[in-house]
Amino acid sequence: MGPVALAIHGGCGVMAKLDLSEEEWVAARADLARALAAGWAVLRAGGPALDAVEAAVVVMEDSPHFNAGYGAALNTAGAHELDASIMDGASLSAGGVTLATRIRNPVKAARKVMEAGDAVLLGGPAADDFARSAGLAMVEPDYFTTPRRVQALAAMKAHRAAGTAAKASEAEKHGTVGAVALDGRGHLAAATSTGGYNDKPAGRIGDSPIAGAGTYARDGVCAVSGTGKGEYFILHAVGHEVASRVAYLGESLEAAADKVIRGDLAEVKVGAGLVAVGADGSIAAPYNTDGMFRGWVTPQGETFVASHAEVFRV
């Protein structure tokens, strides 16, 4: 068995310290640690990277502290439209759902889409129907709603009316969760899930459900999950771009990830971040905003979580 490694994110830009109370910051970091523990338990037992990233993302989808599943953002019509994807680096197969409204854990539906093999991406009512037929837990749309997201939607609408949307805090705008893993057999996987951004147009689809943009994994190279303004992740094919720089230019994972996040996207003034795991167990977690909810477990089993510059050992 080779080295194993795991990294997660809970969204970038969150991130003015005053946006949350100290208790809320602590609770969010605790849920990051729980997500890492869920994924790491799979890897430590010799399980596959796919199971590890799914397990980690499910914990964050069930947490109110992140913009995915329970606690997801509301679109301009005050509704939830959820996106998720998962990718297997061994086979380069992927699955995703978009514009889902009733799937409790969209990442589980993405996994089912991948395994069914008839499509890479299912959207809208068809995604909900597919998840239901696959036996996944379904909920009423208001299950996902939290007071914080209602307040954020109102704040974004006020910014838009005043022409100050560009000055909104990152907490008022968007967020995403994701996980990447390397298992003991050398296989890589990535998964990403989001509610999109607050006050997004109805029917908007971001990068999180799109393989090669917000989610990408290729054995022997790396696995990537991104967070930020999804339109730019699509246009820059961020996940694939990071992997390509590693595979074709021979860059280290850290250099490739930094070039894309702190170079390409920063140059066009896009707040962004990602987590990535390399085929050798290396981990990268760059961001160009004030902060990013993130965490990782090294091949030595050391666990860390962070939201800003300070990194906490768990």
In tens, the pLDDT along 287-302 reads: 999 899 999 999 999 9
Backbone angles phi, psi at 62, to 5 degrees: -85, -5
Q: What does the mean pLDDT of the chain come to?
A: 94
pLDDT tens readout for residues 259-288: 999 999 999 999 999 999 999 999 999 999
255 near 244, Cβ under 8 Å? no
Q: Which pLDDT score is estimated for 261?
A: 98
Q: With contact defined as beta carbons under 8 Å apart, do 182 and 278 qualify?
A: yes
pLDDT at 227: 95
Give percent of the chain above pLDDT 70: 94
Q: How far apart, in whole angstroms, are the C-alpha atoms of residue 65 and residue 311?
A: 18
Q: pLDDT tens digits, residue range 15-31?
A: 555 566 788 888 999 99
Residue 22's domain comprises 5-313
Confidence at residue 6, expressed as pLDDT on a 0 to 100 scale: 98
CATH code (residue 222): 3.60.20.30
Confirm whether 146 is a catalytic residue. Answer: no
**Per-residue pLDDT tens for 74-91?**
999 999 999 999 999 999
> In the prediction, which pLDDT does 17 show?
57
Percent of the chain residues past pLDDT 90, beyond the cut: 84
Q: How many structural domains comprise the chain?
A: 1
From the list 98, 145, 176, 192, the catalytic residue is: 176
| pLDDT above 70 for 174 | no
The pTM for the full model equals: 0.95
pLDDT for 211-259, tens place per residue?
Answer: 999 999 999 999 999 999 999 999 999 999 999 999 999 999 999 999 9
